[in-house]
């Protein structure tokens, strides 16, 4: 079968332009550039390159196992541990202070900053989701507001309860802040760390982590050092075994990082 398309006449021969050696020069320059780039990528530097903090995925049996435990973090080590674990220094400080505050008010609970870090990693990548940054006073560069809880697949349907005062949505509730509280839970457990008479702010990392510590102790039967209490607390935070195992993995990895040299 022949083509029905017209056959184009042969193109006339074109004279090679002057400077025909230029493509060879360009090719040689390109080759040198590639070799130099490869050298820069693969050469060994005296100073190690920064890498993301590794969190191995663990699959512990629900309600029977606890993540590795760590002592309270030494405040003097916060800058060092921030670099090591890739957690913003201001957020790591908030986790550490929230643990200390909760231990002072409720020592029986046994809250750990690593548990808060495991949750913060899942909820907002330690306050850095969507290129958010944390200011020195603990406020965020921009509010962290979750998706509408409108009953879409994987989400509960929660009609608005705060008239949009926290989540800027007057139709549906949304989780807010770096620790992702829904407005009703925030209203019940909110903690204002500065004691300045102002309302607690879910977009301020000290208030958010202190509130999370208080909430976890309350829903974990004031015993987060038992497997039953720990799993109950995290699964109440988010009703998902997969989510809870991911928090477990994060807490375990952060706790082991403290112990390692």
What's the pLDDT band for 25 if we cut at 50, 70, 90? very low
Share of the chain above pLDDT 90, in %: 78
State whether residue 204 is helix, strand or coil: strand
Distance CA 250, CA 57 (A): 8
CB 191: neighbour CB atoms within 10 A? Answer: 20
Task: Decide if 86 contacts 117 (C-beta within 8 A).
Answer: no
Task: Decide if 71 contacts 258 (C-beta within 8 A).
Answer: yes
Distance CA 117, CA 254 (A): 8
Q: Each residue of 74-120: pLDDT tens digit?
A: 999 999 999 999 999 999 999 999 999 999 999 999 999 999 999 99
What's the pLDDT band for 154 if we cut at 50, 70, 90? confident
According to the model, what pLDDT value does residue 47 have?
36
State whether residue 117 is helix, strand or coil: helix
Distance CA 12, CA 138 (A): 73
Distance CA 32, CA 139 (A): 49
Burial annotation 56-83 (CB, 10 A radius, 16+ → b, else e)? eeeebeeeeebbeebeebeeeebeebbe
Nearest to 186 by CA among 125, 131, 145: 145
- Dihedral pair phi/psi, residue 181, rounded to 5°: -100, 140
pTM value?
0.80
């Amino acid at each position: 079968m022949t083509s029905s398309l017209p056959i184009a006449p042969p193109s006339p021969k074109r004279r090679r332009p002057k400077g025909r050696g230029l493509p060879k020069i360009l090719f040689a320059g390109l080759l040198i550039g590639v070799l130099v780039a490869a050298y820069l990528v693969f050469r060994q530097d005296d100073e190690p390159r920064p890498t993301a903090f590794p969190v191995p995925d663990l699959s512990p049996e629900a309600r029977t196992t606890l993540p590795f435990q760590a002592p309270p973090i030494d405040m003097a080590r916060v800058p060092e541990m921030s670099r090591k674990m890739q957690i913003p220094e201001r957020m790591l400080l908030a986790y550490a202070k929230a643990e200390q505050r909760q231990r002072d008010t409720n020592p029986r609970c046994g809250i750990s900053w690593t548990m808060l870090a495991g949750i913060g990693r899942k909820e907002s990548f330690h306050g850095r989701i969507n290129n958010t940054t944390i200011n020195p006073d603990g406020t965020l560069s921009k509010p962290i507001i979750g998706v509408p809880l409108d009953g879409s697949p994987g989400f509960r349907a929660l009609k608005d309860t705060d008239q949009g005062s926290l989540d800027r949505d007057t139709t549906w509730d949304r989780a807010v802040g770096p620790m992702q509280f829904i407005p009703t839970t925030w209203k019940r457990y909110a903690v204002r760390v500065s004691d300045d008479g102002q309302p607690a702010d879910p977009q301020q990392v000290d208030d958010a982590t202190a509130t999370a510590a208080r909430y976890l102790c309350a829903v974990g039967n004031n015993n987060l050092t038992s497997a039953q209490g720990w799993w109950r607390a995290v699964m109440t935070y988010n009703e998902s075994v997969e989510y809870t195992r991911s928090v477990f993995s994060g807490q375990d990895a952060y706790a082991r990082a403290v112990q390692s040299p």
